[in-house]
Amino acid sequence: MQECVELKGVILKSEPIGEYDRRIVILTDKRGKISAFARGARKPNSRYVAGTGPFVFGQFKLFEGRNSYSLNDVEVLNYFDEFKSDMEAAYYGMYFLEVADYYTRENNDELMMLKLLYQSLRALLHDSMDNRLIKAVYEIKSTVVNGEFPGITAGLNVSESAMHAVKFITDSSIEKLYTFALKPDVLKELEMIASDTVKKVINHSFKSLEILNGLSVG
């Protein structure tokens, strides 16, 4: 008999399987990153239609099989519907999902990464926050959470204000991360530090980041 488990998490990916099903990847609070099948989720009258898309944050009930999970129920706590009307914020959000998908593993303790992802997605919905600042904070803090932040490269010429910003990011709790703003010149320095960190630590190509870079050029 299959065991039913309840996990809180964010859906990182959702893809069609067969004619009516979906395969979802969830970053969870207790089991790390897992894959689950949502049977019949693509049928128009399915109760899973709205609750199996990317960004969905909720409480998932799943049957645990030998090699995979099957979705039994989902209580959606946040759809992040606002991304549907804000293309730029949506691409930032998709980038955050990609980073989380790349960085996390099954059966690891990924609770801090889940909290960081959720708070970062919420921050994107606040008009008072600069998306570029949110991205830089998320990139740096992701490496901190995973114990891989290398510090500021010695050759980078950055101001004391930028160094203070990095210290705040590395030392602060996730709940307090998005409580500051930077002057444009300091933000550029922080973006440079974050970009350098990603290249040194993650060194991976993300599709959504390519799109974001194209939008910024345009």
Is 130 contained in some domain? yes
* Containing structural domain, residue 33: 3-78
pTM exceeds cut of 0.85:
yes
Instruction: Please write down the HEC assignment for all residues of the chain.
Output: CCEEEEEEEEEEEEEEECCCEEEEEEEECCCEEEEEEECCCCCCCCCCCCCCCCCCEEEEEEEECCCCEEEEEEEEEECCHHHHHCHHHHHHHHHHHHHHHHHCCECCCCHHHHHHHHHHHHHCCCCCCCHHHHHHHHHHHHHHHCCCCCCCCCCCCCCHHHHHHHHHHHHCCHHHCCCCCCCHHHHHHHHHHHHHHHHHHCCCCCHHHHHHHHHHHC
Same domain for 170 and 144, yes or no, is yes
Is 48 contained in some domain? yes
Q: What is the CATH number of the domain that holds 72?
A: 2.40.50.140
| pLDDT, tens digit, 9 for 90 and up, residues 98-108 | 999 999 999 89
Same domain for 15 and 49, yes or no, is yes
| pLDDT, tens digit, 9 for 90 and up, residues 53-106 | 999 999 999 999 877 899 999 999 999 999 999 999 999 999 999 999 999 999
Is 218 contained in some domain? no
